[in-house]
Structure 1
Amino acid sequence: MSQPKYVPYSKEFFEQPTLLLAKELLGSLLVKETDEGRTSGYIVETEAYRGPLDRAAHSYNNRRTKRTEVMFSEAGRIYTYLMHTHCLVNVVSAEAEVPEAILIRAIEPLEGLDLMVKRRGEMPMKNLTSGPGKLTKAMGITMADYGGRFNEPPLYIARGYKPEEIAIGPRIGIDNSGEAKDYPWRFWVPDNPFVSKKR
């Protein structure tokens, strides 16, 4: 049985304002093609990071390092970074030289489930991809994807569905970022079991 063919979003899709794009990504399909096979899932949780004035962002105060360099590129580029032992994946947003990005926090698996379980191990289904480090391991997303483009394989985003509702609240795990910890820049699909944190 042949796999469905997904058409990546155009480059223009990613050129929306960061907070709007973070909501538009919900319900979209994150797809990763590897030699082992293809995995995909619906994005159900995102967090926006708004660059120079956002104390929670890696690019706060226009901090430009080897790690953040891709954030200064055009929208739609892939920003991966290591947090402890986990690789996290972000969509670069805003225009070039405005270092903003959107963290993909959780997906609802669609295909390649056996491959995801092989990579992550046996566990309750709801734990498989319910966090930014969990989903990258399940999908085989690595630091090698850094700097690529989300509008072309092997790692890309395609049209999925439009959520009926979107929940909004503060971001997670950024307690040392002053007033930025309270910004309502986390977006998720309500009642989806794969969302990393319900509130």
Structure 2
Amino acid sequence: MQTIDSLDALEALYDAPVPASLTKVTKRMTPHYRQWIDASRFVVISTVGPEGTDASPRGEDGPVVKIVDEKTVWLPDWRGNNRIDTLRNIVRDGRVSLMFMVPGCDNVVRINGTAALTADEDIRRVFAKKDKLPKTVIVVTIGEMYFQCAKALMRSQLWSADAPRPEVPSAGQFIKEMKQDFDAVAYDEGYPEYAAGRMW
């Protein structure tokens, strides 16, 4: 396989950027971008660290982040499997990207910037759910934000009710593939929301 190993070689294969792809970029939260972010209940956060890259999905039953000001958003980190790959990366390398999606909408909004972690109780209490608080909050400083072309989601039919629903492994089956004596059925019954067949 011949690889592309220079920017000149790469750029020779493509035309100049479409002007609108550059015009859409903003360095701060504008009213329209605020409206989109407030409507988003799902985000993928991407980080980088000494071991490599990481991308993690985060979801809420309301806005997935809190907009603090035109340069700052807060993302709560709720109790999960305690791998904390994203958090480890942020502590060691603050570069971060967020990709926000809104159900039924084919555009995607992206934020690139820097992040820090806080366990400040006053900030954690902003996200209180009954008596529960997130363990930490990811504080993201916006470097740039822009919307992504809708073509990828349109091609994938991500939100289409008519799109085919393939049979896929459950969470338990993924684990059993790595550990043969694992009881996948019991695991999936204990966490029915993880069983692929019950997600649709």
Q: Same fold (TM over 0.5)?
A: no
More helix as a share of residues: 2
Normalising by the residue count of structure 1, what TM-score does the alignment of the two structures yield?
0.29
Greater RCO, CA 8 A, separation 6+: 1
Normalising by the residue count of structure 2, what TM-score does the alignment of the two structures yield?
0.29
Q: Greater Rg, structure 1 or structure 2?
A: 2
